[in-house]
Structure 1
């Protein structure tokens, strides 16, 4: 046999050289474009219906937006263990594709009801809850796909590139949706439905993916508990997840964007789309840099300082009455948040065995969703007392305070130098080094 025939194939230099990753990237872009446009417009439509048809005041409308966030969060809270178990038990492509098709049905309903003038608040809340149900299944499945289609050495770059897809779609989706909504209110929802069908088809075209199964079969409930236990033991992971949970829960300004667009900055749905996309612009720029030069050193301190910047930018946005300054603050906010997202995502994937990635990703996704949806609820409650601007400023201050506390109670975050796990999750021998765990 010739020596050439025994030479192993060369590893790709970039995740984009892998056809399955390109399909994954495109599917993620289309799905995020569609759902971000849809969710932002649901918020605007709910607020507008409350003000115009129900005669709600500005404070009452802001509180309603908080309840809308709660409606999306409750399914995530209830179904997260099931969704993580499903991602580890079944073909992850099928789980993600079915969730996207569920979102597609929501978009179709929104398009028809908006076109016919039949949309009302109970229907909006019902569709928001159904979207929360779809999202709880798509996130752990999609998060666990990337480690199955790229080599471990390329995973940090793949995470950064995946974040680019998410962030760029988050910029274009709400902005395009806002402009289309101003011309024809049903059109952006119809386009979202078509994009979600394409996303589901692309996901199904990826080679079959199923997690490694436990050697000894156990009851599904026991498997769900094991995912929570693993997360609790990983202090880097636990610290990152809870920091994001509490800092963003307090510091999230996005729930109040419809109030700023309609009544504070008076920029309408077009301005709402631009504001909603501004954080993603900053995040996309950071993700592009990290795809080229991923963070490798002092990851813990960098994450902590990034959350401080996130809180400071939130304060500036809450105090601003100038549209350009508001956009700048939101852009900086998104850039800082991207650092936290990148570090947290890398830790989740590199410190988790494949057989548990769905369950651990679902817990991380629950924390992210809790910070977003419960953050919207908190913002709505605070706005009822402090006003929308006061609620945003209060949240920014809270995010900074939480970061200071977490730096003390989770010293592992301050001491974290690299993403390398202290040990391989699949119980390697003692001779395995931290560096070898990433290669």
Structure 2
């Protein structure tokens, strides 16, 4: 492929983009349905703080499969056709909401069943993320890659906006409808992904043992301080400042807006992220990329504090939108650095390491906020997390001068 046309001018990237939208719609809707189902079931027999801990357990349960499988998932994305890895993963993901839908329309679900479905979905998604994120460099030329990453993020945020709203309103009709909707959307995503033609991919031919190849990806990240700083900054910021796990508590017991309102809260951060990603797809960041990532993390923490203090639905949604916009800048810069600074034959393994870091921030962040809410209350936990994210940006500026010194993407080379 030559030239630097807009990424959507390329046929296979369009199918990739559409499949990502449908998959994110399914995932975001499922997260809302699972979160409400778990918290609602827990509140039948316990108080808010105890139920918050049960809600936080979803994060731990989803993180453990990713932790255990990440070395294998990255290697799979580098040794096999990434398209096929994504498609098999989509089948596994589809089975989980389909099972929950059947149970919801039938005998109903217990907490143990919901936790099991969350773990199986996370295991399937562990294979999906490294392979899916490593595909864009094979679908568009390198000059168009930063724009392609921003447009890919738009797909994720469209799913992040509409998915929670659809999931919340569907759950208001009945849990089975919410889970069935996620299964159908994953089926559509799979059909779209099947339209992507064979790609050019570098495969390993050196005959080394699998464990050696797995460690090679980790070694590459640990010895590239620019990558390590970018990935770890994003991870710890979301780990400390994430509010997602506590949104059911705010929707039910603080803002009193019910499951439909929970869907609106879940979508609010994606509204800000979508607007930012759309802007970045046409006007990508070109100068001082590292410093702008640090500033974005600090703004993320400030918006988190604002959400924790708010008792107004409109102000809470504004803070979440600002939080999402700041997070999108950070994610955009991190993903661009990871893709550009990593050779193609290592992208799956480095992507798996990055995915593990992000899973640590998202899923373990849910556990951390759940535990913090059990001791400090939901408001105290959110405010403490936002303050931690601001402190983290200041600390990383000193610990990783390579990150602050990064000026332009076109000056970054793979080691």
Where on the TM-score scale, by shorter chain, does this alignment land: which range?
Answer: over 0.9
- Quote the offset at 1:403 in angstroms: 1.1
Q: Among residues 364, 380, 385, which one is paired with 1:374 in the alignment?
A: 364
The answer to whether the aligner puts 1:213 opposite 2:203 as a matched pair is yes
Q: Which of the residues 155, 163, 182 maps onto 1:165?
A: 155
Do the aligned residues in 2 keep the contact of 1:90 with 1:210 (CA within 8 Å)?
no
Contact in 1 for aligned 2:15/2:193 (Cα 8 Å): yes
Where structure 1 has 5 or more consecutive residues not aligned to the other structure, the ranges are 1-8, 426-439
| Alpha-carbon distance change, 217 to 336 in structure 1, aligned in 2, over 3 angstroms | same
- CA deviations on 1:391-426 (whole Å, 9 max, x unpaired) are 00010001111111111010111111112355444x
* Total equivalences in the alignment: 415
Counterpart among 354, 358, 366 of residue 364 in structure 1 = 354
Distance in 2, matches of 1:377 and 1:125, equals 13
Partner secondary structure for residue 342 of structure 2: coil
In structure 2, distance between residues paired with 1:222 and 1:302 = 36
Per-residue deviation, residues 182-204 of structure 1 (Å, max 9, x unmatched)? 12321121121111112112222
Residue 435 of structure 1 aligns with which residue?
A: none
SS at 1:82 equivalent: helix
Structure 2 stretches lacking a partner, 5+ long = none
1:422 to 1:160, Cα distance in 2 relative to 1, 3 A: closer
Match of 2:223 in 1: 233
Q: Which residue pairs with 2:84 in the alignment?
A: 94
Query: What is residue 15 of structure 2 aligned with on the other side?
Result: 23
Q: Does 1:137 align with 2:127?
A: yes
- Provide, for residues 127-166 of structure 1, a one-character-per-residue CA deviation record: whole Å limited to 9, x for no partner: 0101110111000000011111100000000000000000
**2:375 aligns with one of 380, 385, 389:** 385
Distance, in Å, in 1 between the alignment partners of 2:178 and 2:275 is 26
Q: Give the Cα separation in 1 of the matches to 2:413 and 2:284.
A: 22
RMSD (CA atoms): 1.2
Post-superposition offset of 1:12: 5.3
Q: TM-score, normalised by structure 2?
A: 0.98
Distance, in Å, in 1 between the alignment partners of 2:361 and 2:273 is: 18
Q: Which residue of 1 aligns with 2:24?
A: 32
- 2:245 aligns with 255
| TM-score, length of structure 1 as denominator length | 0.93
Give the number of the structure whose alpha-carbon radius of gyration is greater: 1
Stretch moving more, 215-224 or 320-329: 215-224
Offset of 1:120 from its aligned partner? 0.5
- Following superposition, the deviation at residue 117 of structure 1 comes to 4.2
Q: Is 2:312 aligned against 1:322?
A: yes
The reply on whether 1:112 has 2:102 as its aligned counterpart is yes
3-state DSSP of counterpart to 1:420: helix
Q: Distance in 1 between matches of 2:101 and 2:258?
A: 20
Is 1:272–2:243 an aligned residue pair?
no
Please give the alpha-carbon distance, in whole angstroms, between the structure 2 residues aligned to 1:350 and 1:418.
Answer: 11
